Amino acid sequence: MSLTDSSPAQIANAASVASRNLAILPRADRNDALDAIHQSLLQAKESILNANARDLSLAIKAAEDGQLSQSVLKRLDLGRPGKWEDMLQGILDVRDLEDPLGKVTLKTLLDDGLILERIACPIGVLLIIFEARPEVIANIAALAIKSGNAAILKGGKESTASFHAISSAISAALTTTAVPNAAIQLVTTRDVIASLLECDKHIDLVIPRGSNELVRYVKASTRIPVLGHADGLCHIYIHADADPESCVRILLDSKLGYPAACNSVETLLIHQEALESHLPTIASQLLEKGCSLRCDSASKDSLLSSLPADKSALLQDAVEEDYDTEFLSPILAIKTVTAPDNADDGMALSLAVAHINAHSSHHTDAILTSSASVARQFQASVDSACVFWNTSTRMADGMRFGFGTEVGISTNKIHARGPVGLEGLCIYKYAVSGCGQVATDYGGSTGKKWKHERLGID
């Protein structure tokens, strides 16, 4: 790992060259490097926490002057209980994940002595841009090394001292390992992001880790593929036959578990026949916990007639814009799904799905219903990375999915979608091994015939 002030083009080129060496290191060498990083960070604990305290005191001043939010302060603080330990444990967790490289995912006998294999390999060079959280450096360096990718890391200015201290420790560790120096480069030059985003010849994937604004800026500023999501506008649709008690529990978790998270629910769609049976308890509990409810007229009218006056008074009117807003705070938009008279049950589902496909950010959308066939229809029809049935939208998470650690959550339609684990940092190559076969020998009426026999994979 090197702290560099080279030009963006030099950085990208060095990363590209180093990526080729890192790509062919055996698993043991990559795991040894993670052990060395873990050990080195342990030893440097005091100096890193001191550096972090310096970042923090500058940030507190900036916050007092109103130039920095309290949430950034919180994210910056490596001294919070458990945070340091989690950072170190995270490196060992990544080490212990299954090796994503070298897996053969397809093997075909094209002809006698001519074998095709599809083999998992690293993507190449990653550019990771993050903001205040200093522990992301260690986490991402570990993920990159484990997956055989070179990485260029650019941190936010609030965490400069922490960033330097952590990267010095990582850098010292790597000099004792087989991982090439330029495989992990920490960029400390200011205002270099725009130039790095132009290096599409050498950088293969950009991963922004931070605010929606950062992700939007990155997506709008580069031709390099970007893995991530700018928005998390998630929906829950309550069908008329949903279990009322589950609905309450799931809504409380999805909306109030961590309102600032991308997998929190923002819009509740509710079947007209569930207005009286389901909505009052949900609304009552959400209001009690300080959540604002922005209701369409049908849901508001219904709640006005069922809630006590002190709660009714809190209800707000929804405007169209609310259904396109990621509140990231304790606010829930509510919309009634009203099928025309005499329409069959499928019509309400179709209306809910149509609203979701038009307004969702395609991150996570859920249905609550006791009907398996309605749920399957919803899961097939909603065009989102995560489609849930009778569970909280907050389940959309790499750790909860069992992926170990998470690179991010992607709302892209290609490559990797939803919570992305190590697999999302890999691609494949096709190896064909023969003994002199040539294309002109095959095909036509007189040529050799292809065997195309699927072979078992060891």
By CB under 8 A, what part of segment 344-363 binds a second copy? 353, 357
Which residues on adjacent β-strands are paired with residue 2?
A: 185
214 touches 131 (CB < 8 A)? yes
Please give the residues from 2 up to 41 whose contact with a second copy meets the rule CB under 8 A: 19-20, 23-24
**Which CB atom, from 247 or from 303, has the smaller least distance to a second copy?**
247
Coil vs helix vs strand at 243: coil
Stretch that binds a second copy, among 65-73, 154-162, 232-240, 431-439 (CB under 8 A): 431-439
The residue within the footprint of a second copy, chosen from 260, 343, 431, 457 (CB under 8 A), is 431
**Which CB atom, from 137 or from 236, has the smaller least distance to a second copy?**
236
Q: Which residues contact 323 (CB under 8 A, 6 or more apart)?
A: 267, 333, 335, 355, 359
| Per CB under 8 A, 427 contacts a second copy | yes
The residue within the footprint of a second copy, chosen from 429, 445, 446, 456 (CB under 8 A), is 429
Q: How far is the CB of 179 from a second copy (least distance, A)?
A: 16
**Which CB atom, from 192 or from 265, has the smaller least distance to a second copy?**
265
**Which CB atom, from 101 or from 170, has the smaller least distance to a second copy?**
101
**Degrees, nearest 5: CA angle 16-17-23:** 85
Q: How far is the CB of 454 from a second copy (least distance, A)?
A: 8
DSSP characters for 368-381?
E-S-HHHHHHHHHH
DSSP characters for 308-337?
-HHHHTT-EE--GGGGG----SSEEEEEEE
**Which CB atom, from 260 or from 380, has the smaller least distance to a second copy?**
380
Please give the residues from 220 up to 279 whose contact with a second copy meets the rule CB under 8 A: 220, 223, 225, 243, 245-246, 249-250, 252-254, 257
Look-up: residue for tokens 């990231």?
328
| Per CB under 8 A, 415 contacts a second copy | yes
**Which CB atom, from 79 or from 102, has the smaller least distance to a second copy?**
102
DSSP characters for 30-74?
HHHHHHHHHHHHHHTHHHHHHHHHHHHHHHHHHHHTTSS-HHHHH
Stretch that binds a second copy, among 87-95, 160-168, 304-312, 417-425 (CB under 8 A): 417-425
| Per CB under 8 A, 445 contacts a second copy | no
DSSP β-ladder status, 104-111 and 453-454: antiparallel
**Which CB atom, from 54 or from 448, has the smaller least distance to a second copy?**
448
| Per CB under 8 A, 157 contacts a second copy | no
Please give the residues from 123 up to 142 whose contact with a second copy meets the rule CB under 8 A: 123-124
The residue within the footprint of a second copy, chosen from 290, 435, 445, 458 (CB under 8 A), is 435
Residue 36 CA from chain centroid, whole number = 27
Q: Taking the alpha carbons of 37, 43, 46, 51 in that order, is the dihedral positive or negative?
A: negative
| Per CB under 8 A, 396 contacts a second copy | yes
Please give the residues from 59 up to 118 whose contact with a second copy meets the rule CB under 8 A: 108, 110, 114, 116
Q: How far is the CB of 353 from a second copy (least distance, A)?
A: 8
Which residues on adjacent β-strands are paired with residue 382?
A: none
| Per CB under 8 A, 392 contacts a second copy | yes
CA distance 361 to 359: 7
Stretch that binds a second copy, among 30-38, 150-158, 229-237, 373-381 (CB under 8 A): 373-381
| Per CB under 8 A, 281 contacts a second copy | no
What tokens does 425 get? Answer: 């940092």
25 touches 18 (CB < 8 A)? no
Please give the residues from 307 up to 336 whose contact with a second copy meets the rule CB under 8 A: none
| Per CB under 8 A, 418 contacts a second copy | yes
Please give the residues from 197 up to 226 whose contact with a second copy meets the rule CB under 8 A: 204-205, 219-220, 223, 225
Residue 245 gets the label, from left (phi > 0), alpha (psi -120 to 50) or beta, of alpha
104 touches 123 (CB < 8 A)? no
Identity (one letter) of the amino acid at 445?
S
The residue within the footprint of a second copy, chosen from 439, 446, 456, 458 (CB under 8 A), is 439
186 touches 4 (CB < 8 A)? yes
